[in-house]
């Protein structure tokens, strides 16, 4: 990679430059520190007991994976000082549960919404096998996590920004995103890749992304139908790695928001001062 390529602004970098804020750089101290105790993040446990989502290669429901990872994230964030973090657990059937979690999230007036899920694959890619004497389905063909945002979200650019922060933190911990959503074999499940560096996809149809009023991202933690990945995803070590990545990404996003608010406040003060200067009577008018 040439030096020109290395310093070329990303899509997120161009967005930040357009609104007058510096590009965030990993490893650099933020210009403005956020107030962690005031920042409210919602960690949404995907699916419900009644609608548990996909089934893993060994017959475990997705909801259990989602709950375990969400709890690990909540605990890590609370320990880091994000004391207003909320674990959002919903009950009921699919559509009712989706609408309920959106209503609850919007009522909290949170700063960020992160929905936790785990992935499967279309049925045509699944194979049969027996585990502990019971028939199950698996697919070892795909591996990796993925991130989704919706362009219909009222704060889409902020959603995309947090998605890239999280994607970078996961990548820094040597976790790779899955590229298969870009492939034609996915059919109706094919998605537009918005950031090839961090694995952030566009998915406008997801209710929890498009109808939430705050920046919103959905994380598919990994492929639970992949027999090897399933075991890794359930391990305490992986839960802590992902929880740390989320916490660091939230911290960077909180810093960015604080810098943005400080810039807007400074602009408002300058505008107010200029208005006062204009309204002062001139010596000729006295």
C-alpha closest to that of 53 among 253, 269, 44: 44
Q: Is the pLDDT of residue 25 over 50?
A: no
CA separation for the pair 200, 205 (Å, rounded): 15
Give residues with Cβ within 8 angstroms of 229, minimum separation 6: 143, 222, 223
The Cα angle at residue 50 between residues 61 and 142, in degrees rounded to 5? 30
Structural contact between residues 236 and 132, judged by C-beta atoms closer than 8 angstroms: no
pLDDT in tens, 101-129: 999 999 999 999 999 999 999 999 999 99
For strand 41-45 and strand 112-119, is the pairing parallel, antiparallel, or unpaired?
Answer: parallel
CA separation for the pair 103, 108 (Å, rounded): 9
Mean pLDDT of 178-205: 96
CA separation for the pair 209, 220 (Å, rounded): 13
What integer pLDDT is reported at residue 58 of this predicted model?
98
* Helices marked H in 136-235: 156-172, 207-210, 227-233
Task: Report the Cα–Cα distance between both ends of the chain, in Å, rounded.
Answer: 67
CA separation for the pair 217, 200 (Å, rounded): 9
What integer pLDDT is reported at residue 97 of this predicted model?
83
C-alpha closest to that of 113 among 201, 39, 191, 19: 39
What domains are defined for the chain?
A: 33-279 (3.40.630.40)
Task: Average the pLDDT over each of 20-34, 94-108, 129-143, 197-211 and give the range with the smallest value.
Answer: 20-34
Confidence of residue 271 (pLDDT cuts 50, 70, 90): confident
What integer pLDDT is reported at residue 264 of this predicted model?
78
Tokens at 98, concatenated: 């989706």
- With the CA atoms of 191, 195, 199 and 202 taken in that order, what torsion angle do they form, in degrees rounded to the nearest 10? -30
What integer pLDDT is reported at residue 266 of this predicted model?
82
Mean pLDDT of the chain: 88
What integer pLDDT is reported at residue 32 of this predicted model?
54
Question: Is 107 strand, coil or helix?
Answer: helix
């Amino acid at each position: 990679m040439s030096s020109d390529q290395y310093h070329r602004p990303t899509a997120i970098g161009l967005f930040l430059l357009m609104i007058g804020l510096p590009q965030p750089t990993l490893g650099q101290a933020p210009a403005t520190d956020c107030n962690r105790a005031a920042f409210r993040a919602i960690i949404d446990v995907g699916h419900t007991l009644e609608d548990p989502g996909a089934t893993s290669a060994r017959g475990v429901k997705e909801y259990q994976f989602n709950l375990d990872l969400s709890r690990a994230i909540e605990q890590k964030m609370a320990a880091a000082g994000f004391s207003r973090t909320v674990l959002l657990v919903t009950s009921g059937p699919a559509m009712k549960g989706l609408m309920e979690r959106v209503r609850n999230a919007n009522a909290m007036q949170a700063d960020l919404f992160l929905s936790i899920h785990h992935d499967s694959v279309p049925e045509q890619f699944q194979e049969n096998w027996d585990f502990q004497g019971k028939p199950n389905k698996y697919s070892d063909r795909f591996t990796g996590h993925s991130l989704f945002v919706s362009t219909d979200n009222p704060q889409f650019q902020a959603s995309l920004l947090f998605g890239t922060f999280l994607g970078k933190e996961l990548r820094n911990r040597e976790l790779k995103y899955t590229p298969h959503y870009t492939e034609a074999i996915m059919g109706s499940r094919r998605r537009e890749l918005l950031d090839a560096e961090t694995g952030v996809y566009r998915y406008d149809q997801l209710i929890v992304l498009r109808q939430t009023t705050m920046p919103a991202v959905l994380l598919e933690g990994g492929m639970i139908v992949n027999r090897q990945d399933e075991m890794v995803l359930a391990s305490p070590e992986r839960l802590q790695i992902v929880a740390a990545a989320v916490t660091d990404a939230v911290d960077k996003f909180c810093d960015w928001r604080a810098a943005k608010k400080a810039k807007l406040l400074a602009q408002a003060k300058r505008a107010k001062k200029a208005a006062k200067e204009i309204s002062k009577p001139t010596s000729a008018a006295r």
